[in-house]
Chain A
Amino acid sequence: MNNDILIMNGKCLSMTNQNQYDWLVIHNDLIVDVGMGEGCKKYIEKVGLVLDAKGGTVLPGFIDSHFHVVQAAINTTSVDLSQARSFDDIGELILNASKNMNDSVIRGIRLDEQNLRENKLPDRTELDKYCNGLPVFLNTVEYQKSVLNTYALLYYKIPFTLQGIEFDENQVPTGIITHYANAFLRENILRNIPNSRRLEAVNSFSKTLIEKGITTINAMEGGRLYSDKDAEFVYEYADQLPFDIALFYQTMDISKVKEMNLKRIGGSFYLDGTFGSRTAALSFDYQDSPGNRGGLNFSQEELNDFVLDCYINRLQLALYTIGDRAIEQALNAHEYALERTGNAGLRHRLEHVELPSGKHIKRAKELGLVFSMSPTYENIWGGPGKMNWERLGERYQMTNPFREIISEGVVVCGGSDCDVTPADPLLGIYSAVNHPVEKHRVDIYDAIKMFTCNGAYGIFEEDRKGYLEAGKLADIVILDKDILKVKKEKIKDIKVNYTIKSGNIIFDRSKR
């Protein structure tokens, strides 16, 4: 049986010099020929399968450069509380879950007390009213607090002596757990999730990813708010998943990473927090919290030492930075380490890097840093009246300046930060092209590059991936429309018709 595939009638964007082809041929796992016009006829009889792209764009398989795959997968089996506006809403959601879920625990995520009419978190007695027959374990939107019903308080091993247990007037725990106790509890709970459940969740979640054309993800796993077992799971099971995974282990334990033979470290390695929780480190006050400029999690000296160690050990490092002060700190540390070692070329990355100044961008270029950014943030939180505007005032216009960064020559790769935003590269491309601040918008080709060749560059895989050229890996997506001709407001509505991974069709919309 001949497994060769001919894709014809496509708008094949090679991502090299804006080259465009009409067709390409796949043999085994590689693209072996590309061309224009009639040249494909010689293959029609020879190949095992001809795919008619029907004028749709053909692209390299999407690379999502920032993804929390295990937690995102596990969260798909959790109750989404982001829309809850009152205790009753929460109660209704968990009540429904208790009827429909097979799991032995009801886990809720994205609970935001600021959205609640009561303006506080429910305690265990409130949750008991809706569900006292199963343990209920709720997480706030950034996992800084947990709320448990009485069953869950007795079900889990809770460290009542640790800082962060809230007690009522009778010295009985209220079920609201923060700080050290929350960290300890989360670590225990996440560590005790068996890998079989992780595998089941990730396998199930994989379908969503390949439907969106994702063939490679950068998995940011382990560390604070996650679990090192997630990273170990990805390390062990990556080969069993239908897409490629580049693991970023979110740890400071360089020796462990070296023992695992990983070439990179970090990911959501938090130098600061988020705009949402007003913890991103700014050089100015939050608009809606005068006197508060967020905070840094490391001293400059600590970070310098760690970054230097990464340079010395030749590990690619990804640092999480949101606010301008965190970006400044990261750049300082890189300059410190580069000056001492001269080890250039490791393509260190800044993740998210939402509020860089012009000078920051120039310094990053000098240092050879890659920016791994999440354009969908702008779609959700950018623009007048949205969260960035509430937090930053008129400075909302300074966030995620894609155009300026790309113009300066810094490589920008795109990620969803799933499950913070949906796993959908076309939504990311749409968001970069339709940035709410016009001067930051990029053209469609640059936006596609973020999720293809630039993504490949960000993990040293541009020799194999990110391009549609003979000799490259046959990771391919076929869209239902010509993305270059679709109105930019409609990009997010484009569908993936086929996803091909290493020459195998892993998603065919017509067979759904």
Chain B
Amino acid sequence: MLTINMLGKGAMLYDNECISEKLSSKLIALVCLLVLNRNRNMSKEKMISLLWPDSDDEAAKSNLRFNLWTIKKTVPQSDDGEDFLISGKDFCRINEKYPYHCDKTMLDCFKASQAENIEELLELKDLFKGDFLEGLYLRNCNEFNEMILFERVVCQNKQVEILEKLISLYDEQERFEEELQILNEVAAIEPYDEHFASQAIRIYGKLGNRTAAINYYKNFEIVLRRNLNTSPNNELKLLYKELLESSCSFKPEQSSKDKSLKDQINIKICGLKDVEYYGIADLMDQIFCNAEKKYLFDLDQQFINDLRFIYSGFLLEYENPAADLPERICNVPPVRIALAFHKLMEHVSERYPIQIQISDFENMDQISQSLICHMEKKEYKNIKILY
């Protein structure tokens, strides 16, 4: 059977054997014209005006005759003895009785509103081997070139419609892996579309793949920033924020009162009776190792400065050994350290549930004992102290 491909480089095959390798661009263009006008006679005058606009009348007619003859010679008759083309004195058309397959014809039959069959949609999707008549340009044939341009627009729009329909059907049937695959394909065509990006992130969520969802957002953000110097819209940012604040088993549809809480930090501390502040310094060290540092540094600078006196983590990780620091952090009175410590615990517990296991309270230095007792009295919502 004859196959005519127009999506991608124009080609003709007969019984899967390419028969267009040695055919000229003009001939491919002529076949394309006939396919686009398949249901009606096409006047030879029109064909000439489209494909040989600059040639004189006789030369143009001769060219057309030669090309039609070449088609007749190249494309075999059907099993029923039908010719591919019907050619009259002034017109030409594709013989309706001649069986052939054409990607563009299939695509033209597609109506997004009526498409409900995934297999058919997949078949249509696979038709796209490239742009409509990719690589074809006929110099001086302005009207024909315009026609290609127009058809490219039509085909690209249909491609997006097909992919959107597939996404919608997969979503309805909860076939998320496949939906994701199509979303990735559509993202290659519509790389800045926030709706598709949002949908992909949600699907990753439904699949429980929080890391992939975060990475998807980050990559999308990079593309927007790099190519458009914009950031994702608020809706997408909000979704990302939810992602960050959710637990590992990310499920966007799951509503939880404590959804902004992160994983619990489990702390085990013991004391050193003779070393002032050792107990709470040990506690801060474990918080520092487990909590997001950027978040910790959201604490007011004055409290961070005061805590530097008893815990060097705030110094070592982020600070340059700036000249004025030793002066700033020496001789911090206990009252300021106590206040800063409680502010820190309050701040951390807003984001993280904390469980503190104290193994040897009696042997803890006195200040740490007092501060822990005071913390217990304060009854911070997300802090649990075990002895």
Whether A172 touches B225, Cβ cut-off 8 Å, given contacts A154-B137, A161-B160, A184-B191, is no
Complexed CA–CA distance, A184 and B191 (Å): 8
Tell yes or no: B192 within 8 A of A by CB.
yes
Which residue from B137, B150, B222 sits with its C-beta under 8 Å from A171? B150
State how many angstroms separate the Cβ of B183 from the closest Cβ of chain A: 16
Contact A340 B149 (CB under 8 A): no
Whether A154 touches B148, Cβ cut-off 8 Å, given contacts A159-B156, A161-B157, is yes
In chain B, positions 137-153 with a C-beta closer than 8 Å to chain A are: 137, 139-140, 142, 145-146, 148-150, 152-153
Contact B297 A302 (CB under 8 A): no
Which residue from A151, A270, A312 sits with its C-beta under 8 Å from B137? A151
Contact B150 A252 (CB under 8 A): no
Whether A154 touches B153, Cβ cut-off 8 Å, given contacts A161-B160, A183-B227, A224-B228, is no
Which residue from B160, B191, B228, B319 sits with its C-beta under 8 Å from A342? B319
State how many angstroms separate the Cβ of A185 from the closest Cβ of chain B: 10
Tell me whether chain A's interface is mostly helix, strand or loop, or mixed.
Answer: loop
Whether A224 touches B153, Cβ cut-off 8 Å, given contacts A172-B146, A340-B297, is no
Tell yes or no: A253 within 8 A of B by CB.
yes
Contact B139 A132 (CB under 8 A): yes
State how many angstroms separate the Cβ of B139 from the closest Cβ of chain A: 6
Complexed CA–CA distance, A299 and B190 (Å): 25
Tell yes or no: B231 within 8 A of A by CB.
yes
Which residue from B145, B150, B301 sits with its C-beta under 8 Å from A170? B150
Whether A157 touches B226, Cβ cut-off 8 Å, given contacts A162-B192, A344-B322, is no
Contact A154 B192 (CB under 8 A): no
Tell yes or no: B230 within 8 A of A by CB.
yes
Tally of contacts, chain A with chain B, CB under 8 A: 100
Tell yes or no: B24 within 8 A of A by CB.
no
Complexed CA–CA distance, A297 and B225 (Å): 9
Complexed CA–CA distance, A184 and B193 (Å): 12
Contact A223 B230 (CB under 8 A): no
In chain B, positions 114-147 with a C-beta closer than 8 Å to chain A are: 131, 136-137, 139-140, 142, 145-146
Tell yes or no: A155 within 8 A of B by CB.
yes
Complexed CA–CA distance, A509 and B322 (Å): 49
Residues of chain B within 8 A (CB-CB) of A342 are 318-320, 322, 325
Complexed CA–CA distance, A297 and B229 (Å): 6
Tell me whether chain B's interface is mostly helix, strand or loop, or mixed.
Answer: helix
Which residue from A150, A270, A299 sits with its C-beta under 8 Å from B142? A150
Complexed CA–CA distance, A170 and B150 (Å): 8
Complexed CA–CA distance, A224 and B226 (Å): 5
Q: How many of chain A's residues have a CB under 8 angstroms from any CB in B?
A: 46
In chain B, positions 29-77 with a C-beta closer than 8 Å to chain A are: none
Contact A171 B322 (CB under 8 A): no
Shortest Cβ distance from A133 into B: residue: B139
Whether A162 touches B152, Cβ cut-off 8 Å, given contacts A132-B139, A133-B139, A150-B142, is no
Shortest Cβ distance from A298 into B: residue: B231
Complexed CA–CA distance, A392 and B225 (Å): 28
Tell yes or no: A160 within 8 A of B by CB.
yes
Contact A343 B226 (CB under 8 A): no
Contact B149 A251 (CB under 8 A): no
In chain A, positions 132-176 with a C-beta closer than 8 Å to chain B are: 132-133, 150-151, 153-155, 157-163, 167, 170-173
**Residues 177-208 of chain A, each 1 if its beta carbon lies under 8 Å from chain B, else 0:** 00010011001000000000000000000000
B145, B230, B293: residue with the most chain A Cβ atoms closer than 10 Å: B145
Which residue from B136, B225, B301 sits with its C-beta under 8 Å from A224? B225
Shortest Cβ distance from B237 into A: residue: A302
In chain B, positions 288-345 with a C-beta closer than 8 Å to chain A are: 293-294, 297, 301, 318-320, 322, 325
Chain B, interface residues (CB within 8 Å), range = 35 or more
Tell yes or no: B189 within 8 A of A by CB.
yes
Tell yes or no: A291 within 8 A of B by CB.
no
Contact A128 B142 (CB under 8 A): yes
Contact B150 A180 (CB under 8 A): no
Complexed CA–CA distance, A162 and B196 (Å): 13
State how many angstroms separate the Cβ of B90 from the closest Cβ of chain A: 26
Contact A343 B320 (CB under 8 A): yes
Whether A270 touches B153, Cβ cut-off 8 Å, given contacts A154-B136, A344-B320, A345-B320, is no
Tell yes or no: A448 within 8 A of B by CB.
no
Complexed CA–CA distance, A183 and B230 (Å): 12
Tell yes or no: A277 within 8 A of B by CB.
no
State how many angstroms separate the Cβ of B191 from the closest Cβ of chain A: 7
Tell yes or no: A33 within 8 A of B by CB.
no
Tell yes or no: A443 within 8 A of B by CB.
no
Residues of chain B within 8 A (CB-CB) of A157 are 131
Shortest Cβ distance from B293 into A: residue: A312
Whether A251 touches B301, Cβ cut-off 8 Å, given contacts A150-B149, A224-B228, is no
Contact B322 A173 (CB under 8 A): no
Contact B189 A343 (CB under 8 A): no
Tell yes or no: A339 within 8 A of B by CB.
yes
Residues of chain A within 8 A (CB-CB) of B148 are 154
Complexed CA–CA distance, A223 and B322 (Å): 34
In chain B, positions 69-113 with a C-beta closer than 8 Å to chain A are: none
Residues of chain A within 8 A (CB-CB) of B189 are 159, 161
Contact A161 B156 (CB under 8 A): yes
Shortest Cβ distance from A302 into B: residue: B231
Contact A173 B153 (CB under 8 A): yes
Contact B156 A252 (CB under 8 A): no
In chain B, positions 185-243 with a C-beta closer than 8 Å to chain A are: 189-192, 221-222, 225-231
Contact A180 B318 (CB under 8 A): no
Complexed CA–CA distance, A183 and B231 (Å): 15
Tell yes or no: A228 within 8 A of B by CB.
yes
Contact B226 A223 (CB under 8 A): yes
Residues of chain B within 8 A (CB-CB) of A341 are 297, 318-319
Complexed CA–CA distance, A78 and B210 (Å): 46
Contact B153 A160 (CB under 8 A): yes
Whether A150 touches B294, Cβ cut-off 8 Å, given contacts A171-B153, A180-B228, A252-B225, is no
In chain A, positions 274-320 with a C-beta closer than 8 Å to chain B are: 297-299, 302, 308, 312
Complexed CA–CA distance, A77 and B66 (Å): 43
Contact B229 A270 (CB under 8 A): yes
Complexed CA–CA distance, A170 and B154 (Å): 12
Complexed CA–CA distance, A150 and B149 (Å): 8
Residues of chain B within 8 A (CB-CB) of A167 are 153
Shortest Cβ distance from A158 into B: residue: B152
Contact B319 A180 (CB under 8 A): no
Shortest Cβ distance from B160 into A: residue: A161
State how many angstroms separate the Cβ of A137 from the closest Cβ of chain B: 14
Complexed CA–CA distance, A133 and B150 (Å): 20
Complexed CA–CA distance, A138 and B385 (Å): 69
Complexed CA–CA distance, A183 and B227 (Å): 6
Contact B294 A308 (CB under 8 A): yes
Which residue from A160, A228, A345 sits with its C-beta under 8 Å from B152? A160
Complexed CA–CA distance, A257 and B115 (Å): 46
Contact A153 B149 (CB under 8 A): yes
Residues of chain B within 8 A (CB-CB) of A298 are 231
Contact A224 B320 (CB under 8 A): no
Contact B294 A252 (CB under 8 A): no
State how many angstroms separate the Cβ of A485 from the closest Cβ of chain B: 43
State how many angstroms separate the Cβ of B318 from the closest Cβ of chain A: 5
Contact A173 B142 (CB under 8 A): no
| B residues apposed to A, CB below 8 Å | 131, 136-137, 139-140, 142, 145-146, 148-150, 152-153, 156-157, 160, 189-192, 221-222, 225-231, 293-294, 297, 301, 318-320, 322, 325
13 contacts between A and B (CB under 8 A): A151-B139, A160-B153, A160-B157, A183-B192, A184-B227, A224-B229, A228-B226, A251-B226, A252-B221, A252-B222, A340-B297, A341-B318, A342-B325
* With A167-B153, A171-B150, A340-B301 already in contact, 15 other A-B pairs whose C-beta atoms are closer than 8 Å: A132-B140, A133-B139, A150-B146, A151-B137, A151-B139, A153-B149, A180-B192, A224-B225, A253-B222, A270-B229, A298-B231, A312-B293, A339-B301, A343-B318, A343-B319
| A residues apposed to B, CB below 8 Å | 125, 128, 132-133, 150-151, 153-155, 157-163, 167, 170-173, 180, 183-184, 187, 222-224, 228, 251-253, 270, 297-299, 302, 308, 312, 339-345
